[in-house]
Structure 1
Amino acid sequence: MFSRSFLAVAALSLSVAAAPAHADTACRFASEPRVLMEEGGPNADGSKLLQLWDVPDHPVLWSATAPESGGYRRFRDELAERKIETGPVRLLERSPTPNNRIVIRHADDWIGPANCLEMLMFGHQHGRLNTFENPSEFASIILRSPDRERLRVYYYTINHDGIGRMDPIVEPALADRQAGWEVLIALHSHVFHPGQPKIDGILAPSGPDADFHARFHAQSGVREARITNGVHTVRMPASSFDGFQRAADGNEVGSSSG
């Protein structure tokens, strides 16, 4: 089923990265993140963390090269040990909501393996709080500098299941846009919840997710929305946003739930 998807995802990623991957380059951030806000300890319930990486826009970040160590490697090892289902379409078919059905129809074009950048952030999240034992998610906004040489990667998480209001990363990202940065991607994670088919690694937006994507696009011109479960990622072009079922209560801009 994914014979065409790998080519489509590669083309979509290259449209963002504008360069091929270097297979001999390690998947890592070139510098440590800068912490913008931290409340509570990394393992405490309800703790919050907002940070950013400001790094060269290296092609390896857009490639399928996986991190060689750290939280992501531990995540994949534990995923294998637990024998968790990871087939993205099979997971979606367990819960055929309207939004899940949209992604199923477009799976060949939209779903592909997680890339280095997505795996790094997922690994960072799993290293902070084991996502199998204490499910939690991250949200990210990724921008490219006016000279197209650097990426700015905002990362925000709360130590509970779901993100809630996205203001902590939306506001600085919009300020960067005013300064000439291009808003490339709005990304967040949907982690595995074995035994809970409605939310088990689902690569499709919830109603609040879809609402956020549409509203944030109106503000920022973001090119894509992505959801990753650490193994696969759905990459939805902005042209698709209005087709998804949005939250019935009309959440304000800055809201998202996993």
Structure 2
Amino acid sequence: MPMRALALTALLLGSAACRTPRPEAGAAARADLSVATCELPSSPAELIPLAEAPIPGELHERFDLPDSPAWWAPAPEDAERQRYREALVARLGAGGVEARALLARSREQFAAQALPLRREAENNARVLEGGAGTVGPTSCLEWRLFQRQARRFPMLEHPTEFSAYVLRGQGRLHVYFSGADRAGAKLRSEVTERVAAEVARGFVLVAHAHNHNFMFDRVPGDRLWTTPETVNVVGGGVAPSLTDVQAYRGMHEALGLQGAWVTNGLETGRYTAGDFTRLSAWEPVP
């Protein structure tokens, strides 16, 4: 399911003057040790508290990592990733898990729907036709973020979404990871205010990352927001949804967002700020 972006402006325009907390003692050292194998530290530099009660399974974490080339290299084909790939192939066939096949399937399924759902086909078509973005193997950083959420909630048996802001500066990566027990992401001002403060002191918001779930055995009214029209929509495509693009445009304006990554754990669609205007965004129905 796409990110819920309707309250984005209010969240992003929260105070950018809050002071970003310093990493806990030893956090950077632990991160420096873990980067040799491109693994996130077992504990974040900060667990971000919320002013209101969290939704089930909700957490927000900040990681402070050395900016090493290892994070940007293709993800390792470790045992967890192999099992995930094999389970998908068992459901969809070897060709069915390829990014272009998933994009084509989503385009056809959405194109057959009534408006406004039909418009979700637009970005799938644009990516397939080379009009926006690039698609390639998931990077190590993208996989580790996906893996962190998958270890909390198995992605195929209990699909959920994570989202993450990735900032770069001073030889470091600061990653703000969010996830909950839901298909969809909830933007919180406690996170966006910290991101804004990082940008104000010179860090660059290089990307916003999130995953698009595979969703099997859907039933109208289930936890995946399934309707009779979407009961056969498997998902897993790496084109951004209309609400994703609406959110990206707001983040670009408010925070200088430079790019966006949409991953299914195997492949990732990567989009530049220029792509945000080439892609279709959600618009209210007149």
What TM-score, normalized to structure 2?
0.69
- Of 189, 194, 198 in structure 1, the residue corresponding to residue 211 of structure 2 is 189
CA distance in 1, matches of 2:245, 2:140: 25
The corresponding residue for 2:249 is 214
Q: Deviations over 1:180-238 (max 9, x none)?
A: 11111111110112465545101111111010011100112121111000000000111
**Which stretches in structure 2 are left out of the alignment for 5+ residues?**
1-34, 108-120, 218-230
The corresponding residue for 2:28 is none
Pair 1:228 & 2:263 matched:
yes
The residue type paired with residue 38 of structure 2 is C
The residue type paired with residue 133 of structure 1 is E
The residue type paired with residue 204 of structure 1 is A
How large is the RMSD of aligned CA atoms in angstroms? 2.8
- % identical aligned pairs: 28
Q: Deviations over 1:83-125 (max 9, x none)?
A: 5531111111112201111111128960000000000011111
- Of 51, 55, 58 in structure 1, the residue corresponding to residue 65 of structure 2 is 55
Q: Residues 2-21 of structure 1 correspond to what in structure 2 (within 5 A)?
A: none
**Which stretches in structure 1 are left out of the alignment for 5+ residues?**
1-23, 251-258
Q: Residues 70-219 of structure 1 correspond to what in structure 2 (within 5 A)?
A: 72=81, 74-76=83-85, 78-80=87-89, 82=91, 85-96=96-107, 97-106=121-130, 110-145=134-169, 147=170, 149-165=171-187, 167-194=189-216, 198=233, 200-219=235-254
Q: Tell me how far 1:72 sits from its aligned partner.
A: 4.6
The residue type paired with residue 125 of structure 1 is Q
Q: How many equivalent residue pairs?
A: 221
| Contact 1:89–1:107 (CA under 8 A) maintained in structure 2 | no
Between Structure 1 and Structure 2, the one with more strand by share is 1
SS at match of 1:94: helix
| Contact 2:211–2:262 (CA under 8 A) maintained in structure 1 | yes
Q: Deviations over 1:48-107 (max 9, x none)?
A: 0100110101111100141746x5565345435545531111111112201111111128
Structure with greater contact order relative to length (CA < 8 Å, sep ≥ 6): 2
CA distance in 2, matches of 1:158, 1:125: 8
CA distance in 1, matches of 2:253, 2:213: 27
SS at match of 1:127: helix
Pair 1:37 & 2:72 matched:
no
| Contact 1:141–1:169 (CA under 8 A) maintained in structure 2 | no
Distance 1:197 1:225, change over 3 A: farther
